[in-house]
């Protein structure tokens, strides 16, 4: 399917989702849906570096929170419309992503993961000590009551996140099917052989960290408006890190579909659990699902579908069923 | 550099403060080394990225707390009693890890995620069972402080420090003098050679990982003696532990000890003169620096 | 006439272990060089240093007149240096056809005038697979291949990069007599098309029939370099292989 057609379909689906939420009449669905959509963006972003390239980022929360804090910082200076803040968040986190990549991408897999964790804490410490955005005490952002013609402000935020999610998925799919996606796959499979085949691995890895970071920053930018009170301990929370890893792993890391499935399923599950049981149990469920899936179904839900419905052996990735005569699978 | 959250304007530089900071840094450093010893084994020697190690330490803290609260036993004694249980836990976890990931060659992504999940399960289970209140233990040496000239030495830090050093020494003896210990060192270098000597490398690794988690039991007791504990305290140790492990040369216990003391001192001095809110950045910053400049660590391989 | 590959005083250590010392080698364009030596003599280390997978501490490498110092492995591949790995390293999540697609997308396309359309790429992948006899498995994954087939894939992938110089590191290990002949024919054909080839092999029959010049490496040092027949009668070479 061509990418522009895919985008149109996504937008139509998004429109349907929005309309359905409006029809349900309860603003709660917008609040809950916002979180799920936010995770769609985070998981998709994480998967670009983690699933496609094989580099595990434990510091997702940092890029996410930086987007939020960039928005706060700019808001304090001069309140700009949210879409602009989203772009700013993306730029800030993209730059940090590039910087992180530059510092750490020469490291072997496990070291890279640990370095991302370290970076997240360093960034968090910097923010905690930055009085302009409230430091450890936090920052209040007043959410406007309503915005025409959508109604309550939360609908506006929901719409923004919906469009971001569409954008993230489309971008991931585009990358997957392009020369870049092939390059990412070789980095994941065998970096040494990739270099020997002419793949500029460092450059591609930097592209991956930058895009991944930027998307996470964009997802974080509207957060201050959503929760009204931004605190480093919650914005940098490990919950974001664990979810952005668990959702792609549970959904399946080999294509854009996996993070989407993982985010929608796991995100909804957590929203239900928060309301019915408690929010601590949330993370327990996530932890168990993560461990369970990783042991039993390493290819995630996508892998299970392949195994049971298509009756094909559980190939470790097989996202491209290439026919030697297949046209148009590369630009 | 002036920090608004530091102790007043400017730097009130006092030699006494510095000496105390350095000294307490050394004491804490020994404790950090005990905390890291397990990771030196699992990550430094076995190449297993067990980022859940701090969670097991917290588990150890809570178990020591429960035994101390119910039976009045000294926490360190309590943790020694529980150590075999931790060993079995560690061996079991390694078995699952090996069968699910190492054998299939998927340890980088999925193995990491596995431990990450364990970290969360452990922490959240503790929250659900114990709540988020700080817990502390009671013992004769928690409270009194020795005064040696200008230096204050709280006993609740000194005792764990001394026992930590004993632990490290014992581990080093184990690794260098016993057959099992040397087999563990060997398995890191050449598994095939071990097999040819009719030693099952998987069994050795299982033993090593079991020992690694067993140290967490003791380290947990040390932790709760030094400071009150609540479930999320483990998180700040993740970076610290790996920073020390990498700085110390990955698997070298003497190196770990030196690196731990270095980090302890730097953290302590930073905290004293710039305020505690900057302390977490110290160890993590060190880690980044080390990884960027000299991944082989100070005494590296 | 400038040499295609000029290695001058190359040295490489791993900690205290000296893997290579003072290696000097000159390869002319279009030559067929055989590189032999006992296991552990440093042949693969030499290949790694030439191709940029490892950094040598001493000496220089010149390729096609240009100094390679500091150039990354992928840059060297783009300049026309290709190699196979002694233990095949296929891209396990990609089909065979896609494995060959990578060098075409990233090496050939990066060169001036190298851009190919999709159908050209697909065609080229098919041709290459046919040349090594793997066209029927084009859509399969590498893990479904036998060891021998993986070596052929490894060779095809190096060929896909359209190199000026190809280093074939033990591409024939484990092949039957006729398969060895097949690969030799393939390499000869490549050579006739102008590709310089360095063949690293233990199968003496193949090396002797293929090489115009034979280079012998023992314990990290070059001990012989010349006509294959002369070199094989060199007492030092005999000692290295047969012991004293």
The SS3 of residue C30 is coil
- Integer Cα distance of B260 and B268 in angstroms: 12
The yes-or-no verdict on residue A19 having pLDDT over 70 is yes
> Would you say A48 and A211 are in contact if contact means Cβ atoms under 8 Å apart?
yes
Identify whether C125 is part of a domain.
Answer: no
Confidence band, pLDDT 50/70/90 cuts, at residue A247:
very high
Identify whether C182 is part of a domain.
Answer: yes
> What's the mean pLDDT in A79-99?
90
Predicted local distance difference test score (pLDDT) of residue A275: 79
B40: which DSSP letter?
I
B287 against A187, higher pLDDT? A187
- Lowest mean pLDDT: which of B183-197, B286-300, C16-30, C198-212? B286-300
Identify whether C232 is part of a domain.
Answer: yes
How many structural domains is chain B composed of? 1
pTM of the entire predicted model: 0.87
Predicted local distance difference test score (pLDDT) of residue A312: 54
Identify whether C188 is part of a domain.
Answer: yes
C67: closest CA of chain A, how far (Å) = 18
Predicted local distance difference test score (pLDDT) of residue A330: 35
Mutation site, A49, A62, A118, interface B, largest B CB count within 10 A = A118
Helix (H) or strand (E) segment spanning residue B61: helix B53-71
> What's the mean pLDDT in A241-265?
92
Domain that holds residue B223: 28-293
- The nearest alpha carbon in chain B to A59 belongs to B239
Helix (H) or strand (E) segment spanning residue C148: helix C147-160
Nearest-CB residue to A185 (from C53, C94, C135): C94
Mutation site, B39, B115, B116, interface A, largest A CB count within 10 A = B116
B115: closest CA of chain A, how far (Å) = 8
Identify whether B92 is part of a domain.
Answer: yes
- Lowest mean pLDDT: which of A68-77, A256-265, B285-294? B285-294
Nearest-CB residue to A121 (from B117, B123, B280): B280
CB neighbours of B85 closer than 8 A, spacing ≥ 6? B217
Predicted local distance difference test score (pLDDT) of residue B281: 79
Return the CATH number at C210: 3.40.50.300
A254 to chain C: which residues are within 8 Å by CB?
Answer: 93
Confidence band, pLDDT 50/70/90 cuts, at residue B301:
very low
B116 to chain A: which residues are within 8 Å by CB?
Answer: 58, 242, 245, 290
Predicted local distance difference test score (pLDDT) of residue A287: 86
Predicted local distance difference test score (pLDDT) of residue A311: 61
Predicted local distance difference test score (pLDDT) of residue A264: 95
The yes-or-no verdict on residue B195 having pLDDT over 80 is no
B102: which DSSP letter?
I
Confidence band, pLDDT 50/70/90 cuts, at residue B223:
very high
CB neighbours of C142 closer than 8 A, spacing ≥ 6? C90, C91, C92, C94, C96, C99, C150, C153
Q: Read off the tokens for A170.
A: 């489309």
> What's the mean pLDDT in B193-216?
88
Identify whether B159 is part of a domain.
Answer: yes
- Tally of helices (H runs) and strands (E runs) in chain B: 11, 2
Predicted local distance difference test score (pLDDT) of residue A328: 32
CB contact residues (below 8 A), chain A span 104-133, against chain B: 104, 107, 109-111, 113-115, 117-119, 121-122, 124-126, 128-129, 131
- The nearest alpha carbon in chain A to B49 belongs to A110
Domain that holds residue C61: 5-88+161-242
The yes-or-no verdict on residue B10 having pLDDT over 60 is no
Return the CATH number at B206: 1.10.3470
The yes-or-no verdict on residue B133 having pLDDT over 50 is yes
- Lowest mean pLDDT: which of B31-45, B57-71, B126-140, C76-90? B126-140
Q: Do C77 and A196 touch (CB under 8 A)?
A: yes
Beta bridge partners of C5: C27, C63
Identify whether B45 is part of a domain.
Answer: yes
Tell whether omega for the bond before A268 is within 30 degrees of 0, i.e. cis.
Answer: no
Would an 8 Å CB–CB cutoff place A277 in contact with chain B? no
- Integer Cα distance of A68 and A90 in angstroms: 10
Identify whether B11 is part of a domain.
Answer: no
pLDDT < 50 stretches in chain C: 244
Confidence band, pLDDT 50/70/90 cuts, at residue B57:
very high
A125: closest CA of chain B, how far (Å) = 6
Predicted local distance difference test score (pLDDT) of residue A24: 83
Predicted local distance difference test score (pLDDT) of residue C10: 92
Q: Do C93 and A195 touch (CB under 8 A)?
A: no
How many residue pairs bridge chain A and chain C with CB atoms within 8 Å of each other?
116
> Would you say A258 and A248 are in contact if contact means Cβ atoms under 8 Å apart?
yes
Predicted local distance difference test score (pLDDT) of residue A263: 95
> Would you say A251 and A43 are in contact if contact means Cβ atoms under 8 Å apart?
yes
Q: Do C102 and A183 touch (CB under 8 A)?
A: yes
Mutation site, A115, A190, A266, interface B, largest B CB count within 10 A = A115
Mutation site, C122, C136, C158, C168, interface A, largest A CB count within 10 A = C122
How many structural domains is chain C composed of? 1
Closest to A11 in 3D by CA, of A167, A172, A176? A167
């Amino acid at each position: 399917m061509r990418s522009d057609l895919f985008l149109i379909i996504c937008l139509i689906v998004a429109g349907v989702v929005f309309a359905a939420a409006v029809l349900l009449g309860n603003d709660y669905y917008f609040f809950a849906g916002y979180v799920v959509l936010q995770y769609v963006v985070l998981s998709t972003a994480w998967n670009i570096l983690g699933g496609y390239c094989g580099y595990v980022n434990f510091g997702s929360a940092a890029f996410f929170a930086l987007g939020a804090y960039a928005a706060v910082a700019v808001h304090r200076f001069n309140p700009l419309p949210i879409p602009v803040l989203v772009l700013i968040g993306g730029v800030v986190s993209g730059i940090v992503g590039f910087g992180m990549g530059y510092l750490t991408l020469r490291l072997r897999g496990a070291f890279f993961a640990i370095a991302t964790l370290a970076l997240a804490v360093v960034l968090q410490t910097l923010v905690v000590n930055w009085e302009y955005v409230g430091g450890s005490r936090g920052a209040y952002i007043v959410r406007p009551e309503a915005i025409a013609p959508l109604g309550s402000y939360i609908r506006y935020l929901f719409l923004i996140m919906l469009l971001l999610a569409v954008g993230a998925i489309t971008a991931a799919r585009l990358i997957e099917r392009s020369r870049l996606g092939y390059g990412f796959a070789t980095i994941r499979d065998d970096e040494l052989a990739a270099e020997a085949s002419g793949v500029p691995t460092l450059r591609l890895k930097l592209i991956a960290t930058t895009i991944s970071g930027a998307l996470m920053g964009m997802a974080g930018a509207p957060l201050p408006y959503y929760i009204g009170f931004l605190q480093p301990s919650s914005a940098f929370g490990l919950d974001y890190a664990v979810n952005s890893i668990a959702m792609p792993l549970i959904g399946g890391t080999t294509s854009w579909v996996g993070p989407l499935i993982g985010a929608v399923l796991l995100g909804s599950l957590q929203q239900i659990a928060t309301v019915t049981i408690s929010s601590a149990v949330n993370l327990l469920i996530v932890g168990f699902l993560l461990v369970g899936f990783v042991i039993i179904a390493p290819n995630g839900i996508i892998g299970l579908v392949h195994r049971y419905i298509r009756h094909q052996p559980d190939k470790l990735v097989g996202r491209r069923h290439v026919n030697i005569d297949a046209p148009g699978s590369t630009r | 550099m002036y920090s608004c959250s530091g102790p007043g304007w400017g730097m009130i530089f006092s030699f006494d403060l510095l000496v105390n900071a350095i000294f307490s840094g050394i004491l804490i450093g020994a404790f950090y080394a005990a905390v890291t010893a397990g990771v030196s084994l699992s990550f430094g020697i076995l190449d297993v990225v067990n980022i859940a190690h701090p969670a097991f330490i917290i588990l150890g803290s809570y178990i020591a707390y429960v035994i101390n609260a119910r039976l009045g036993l000294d926490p360190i004694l309590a943790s020694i009693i529980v150590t075999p249980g931790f060993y079995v836990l560690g061996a079991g976890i390694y078995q699952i890890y090996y069968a699910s990931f190492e054998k299939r060659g998927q340890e980088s992504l999925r193995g990491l995620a596995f431990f990450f999940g364990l970290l969360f399960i452990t922490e959240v289970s503790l929250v659900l069972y114990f709540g988020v209140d700080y817990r502390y233990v009671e013992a004769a040496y928690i409270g009194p402080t020795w005064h040696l000239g200008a230096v204050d030495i709280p006993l609740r830090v000194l005792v764990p420090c001394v026992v930590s050093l004993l632990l490290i020494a014992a581990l080093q003896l184990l690794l260098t003098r016993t057959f099992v210990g040397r087999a563990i060192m060997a398995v890191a270098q050449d598994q095939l050679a071990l097999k040819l000597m009719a030693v099952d490398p998987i069994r050795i690794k299982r033993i090593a990982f079991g020992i690694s988690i067993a140290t967490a039991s003791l380290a947990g007791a040390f932790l709760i003696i030094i400071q009150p504990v609540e479930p999320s305290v483990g998180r700040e140790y993740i970076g610290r532990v790996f920073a020390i492990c990498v700085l110390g040369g990955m698997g070298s216990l003497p190196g770990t000890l030196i690196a731990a003391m270095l980090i302890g001192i730097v953290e302590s001095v930073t905290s004293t003169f710039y305020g505690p809110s900057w302390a977490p950045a110290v160890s993590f910053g060190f880690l980044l620096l080390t990884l960027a400049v000299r991944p082989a660590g100070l005494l590296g391989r | 006439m400038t040499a295609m590959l000029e290695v001058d005083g190359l040295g490489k250590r791993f900690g205290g272990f000296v893997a290579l010392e003072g290696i000097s080698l000159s390869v002319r364009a279009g030559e067929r060089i055989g590189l032999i030596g006992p296991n552990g003599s440093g042949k693969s280390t030499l290949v790694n240093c030439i191709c940029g997978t490892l950094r040598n501490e001493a000496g220089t490498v010149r390729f096609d007149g240009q100094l390679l110092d500091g150039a990354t492995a992928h840059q060297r591949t783009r300049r026309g240096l290709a190699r196979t790995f002694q233990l095949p390293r296929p891209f396990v999540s990609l089909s065979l056809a896609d494995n060959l697609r990578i060098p075409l997308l990233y090496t050939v396309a990066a060169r001036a005038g190298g851009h190919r359309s999709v159908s050209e790429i697909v065609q080229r992948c098919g041709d290459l697979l046919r040349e090594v006899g793997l066209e029927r498995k084009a859509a399969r994954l590498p893990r479904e291949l036998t060891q021998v087939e993986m070596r052929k894939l490894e060779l095809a992938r190096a060929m896909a990069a359209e190199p000026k110089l190809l280093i074939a590191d033990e591409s024939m290990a484990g092949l039957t007599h006729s398969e060895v002949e097949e690969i030799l024919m393939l390499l000869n054909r490549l050579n006739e098309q102008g590709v310089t080839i360095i063949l690293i092999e233990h199968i003496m029959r193949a090396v002797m029939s293929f090489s115009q010049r034979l280079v012998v490496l023992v314990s990290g040092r070059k001990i012989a370099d010349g006509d294959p027949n002369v070199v094989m009668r060199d007492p030092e070479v005999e000692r290295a292989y047969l012991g004293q």
